[in-house]
Structure 1
Amino acid sequence: MSKGTILVTGGTGFLGAHLISQLLEKGYTVRATARSASKLQSIFPKVSPEQLEVVEVPTLTSDHSAALKGVDALIHSASPIFGPGVSGQELFSGNYDGTVALVKQAIATGVKKIIVTGTFATLFDSDFQSAFGTRVLTEKDYGSVTLETIDLNKDGLQVNIEAKTLADKKIWELAHEHPEIDFTVVLPTLIFGPQLSLLTSSPSSLGTNGFIQMLFAPEYPPIPFGHMIDVRDVARAHVLALTTPPVPGRDKRFIIVNSTFQWKDVAALIRNKRPELAGRLPKETSIPVPQSSAPLDTTFSEEVLGMTSYIPQEETFLAALDVVLEWESKFGDK
């Protein structure tokens, strides 16, 4: 017997596919949105339509009202991919406009539990200095950006983070207006690990595992984040949140992090475990960019979700490496 029907957005994504897998494993019925129903169905070919229903939704800002009807909970994991050719306006529309509209549609449709995937980067000051400091950051921290100060012409990464920060803040405004609905925002750090979603010829299909591919270069990746988590642990946090009751007087923002890491250490791991790849790694004289290292307080996540253990960092990075090597074997230069 099903535990209930959960709507998952972004079902073909890196995280979305793991969410669907874990929800099905736990006995939930899943309704998932995707741009392509056939693509999502090909990820789960043995799952019956009674267990996994797919609703095609063309964009993040599309009306989801029909997909929301009759579901017990919403997990919104869909997010635009930032990169070359993606404008600041597109990032803002997907991360802010789309998220806020979807949450409002869920409220109007009568959904009683709403879980949104945010990012730990919303904890940092807008100048990012707190990401590299010693002050302990908690789920109560936010960047200071406002709708009036966001600059859509900035670097795509910054626009992405600031749009997510504004969406996070707006979600809690709506939550306080609707105490009858149970809201959660999950704040994962940089996500790596095995991939269920389909690989395509586009490197963007690697998701954040693509940062591991960037190690195959003379210089280290220009990625300033140094906190990591396995995608399976992130999915687990969302699934646990489904059965977590409201916490009186607290916004349920859950920081999900395993540990900090340095790109040099990831390169050393690859050199040690996969010595045949050593010649492709950054040169010894290369200096990595500074990476976020601020201490993150996960007490709230531990106490409420019970998240006290995580998949080992080494296992996560090697799984991500295997995904990259699989992509190269299928689509890389021959």
Structure 2
Amino acid sequence: MQQQTVLVTGGTGFVATHVIVQLLQQGYRVNTTVRSLSSQSQLFETLKSAGMQASQDNVQLIEADLLNDTNWLTAMQGCDYVLHVASPLPMGDPKNEDDVIKPAVEGTLRVLTFAKKAGVKRVVMTSNFGAVGYSNTDTSQVITEQSWTNPKQKGLSVYNKSKVLAERAAWDYIHSDGQGLELSVINPMGIFGPLINQRLSAGHSLLRQLMSGEMQRLPDINMGIVDVRDVADLHIRAMLSPQAAGERFLALAGGTMSLIDIAHYLKKAMPQHSANISTKALPTWLLKIVALFNPKARAIKPLVGVYRQASNQKARTLLGWQPRSNEQAMLAAAQSLVHYKLI
């Protein structure tokens, strides 16, 4: 039987790299899009550190940009599946929100359009919880995949707005021009678990601030958490399962942890690395004042007070997904920060 090839977009990203590792473990060949072919040696090194022998025989890099048609058809040639993981992640608030929204929406539509042209069977798209649960006002109800965030909601970050608009555009395309192409969407909560190189994800950056003592007071943030290895596994399950076509799946371990919960847990689990961790609360009224002149506080403010009790039942039942616990994901993340000397 001929080895199948899967296209993974944004191959040097945190989630995408873990996806590539698991695809290689399962015997697939991987095409992956990158902004520059100069990142090949770095990607191969990262895959090697995760125990995978990567070479041009099993991993092919293709230079492609979400805002440009060049090379997308080439990247998808001979692929049954596309895992669209790439998404622009702004550092701080951009001056113009279109700098983030345009590549997210146009890039998604570009990937779907070329996937259909190339005869791809199914696209699995990485969205996020920001596209699902940020407009939920009924805290007596557990959030499910039926919920949608209102993109016009006051206080919604540009990043979350871009994710909801990109996901909406994807479903609209499938229901109109995309007949014959299947779509599944993964909506992860806060992604932790192990780093496999020194590049910090957004979640690990927050955790580093906590563990280094830079965050002396902890804001009222409750997080739904998921291990990156389980996010990668869920992408592959959604790629292969007949039941996943036309469905979206919330990816979370179950329940939530507050920053104070995480601080207490790490102090107990990693006493030798937690001397600087604060367990003091930061009142929300004070955070709002600090956010007026502090960019880091401003970035955290939209996370405060968001209701995050959501269900992972659909992924468990339909796809047999069994995620690690919140504590396992957080411990693996903290241990990898220590391993890479990032704290």
Query: What TM-score comes out, normalization by structure 2 length?
Result: 0.82
CA distance in 2, matches of 1:2, 1:167: 34
Instruction: Give the secondary structure class of the aligned counterpart of 2:86.
Output: coil
Task: Structure 1: give runs of 5+ residues left out of the alignment.
Answer: none
Letter in 2 for 1:189: M
Q: Which residue of 2 aligns with 1:72?
A: 80
Deviation at 1:290, TM superposition (A): 4.2
Q: 2:280 aligns with which of 280, 284, 288?
A: 284
1:5-44 equivalences under 5 Å are: 5-35=5-35, 36-44=39-47
Structure 2: runs of 5 or more not aligned: 285-302
Q: Deviations over 1:4-44 (max 9, x none)?
A: 11000111111011100101111111111122223222223
Q: Whole-Å Cα distance in 2 between the matches of residues 168 and 104 of structure 1?
A: 14
After superposition, the Cα gap between the structure-2 partners of 1:223 and 1:110, relative to the gap in structure 1 and judged at 3 Å, is farther
Distance change (3 Å), C-alpha of 1:303 and 1:85: closer
Q: Which moved more, 1:183-192 or 1:275-284?
A: 275-284
Which residue identity is paired with 2:319? L
Aligned to 2:127: 118
Q: What's the counterpart of residue 268 of structure 1?
A: 264
Within a 5 Å distance, the mapping from 1:101-180 to structure 2 comes to 101-125=110-134, 128-130=135-137, 133-145=139-151, 149=152, 158-177=157-176, 178-180=178-180
Deviations 1:162-219 (A, max 9, x none): 11111111111121233422210011111001012x325xxxx344211111213343
- How far is the alpha carbon of 1:227 from its aligned partner? 0.5
Matches of 1:240 and 1:84 in 2, distance apart?
A: 33
TM-aligned CA distance change 1:285 to 1:244, over 3 Å? closer
In structure 1, the partner of 2:209 is 214
1:221, 1:284 → 2: CA distance? 6
Distance in 2 between the 1:160 and 1:286 partners?
25
| 2:257 maps to 1:258 | no
**1:47 Cα deviation from its structure 2 partner:** 1.9
Matched residue of 1:43: which SS?
helix
Q: Is the 8 A contact 1:95 1:160 kept in 2?
A: no
Range 267-276 or range 291-300, more displaced: 291-300
Per the normalisation by structure 1, the TM-score is: 0.84
Contact 2:90/2:159 (CA < 8 Å) preserved in 1? yes
Q: Distance in 2 between matches of 1:262 and 1:61?
A: 37
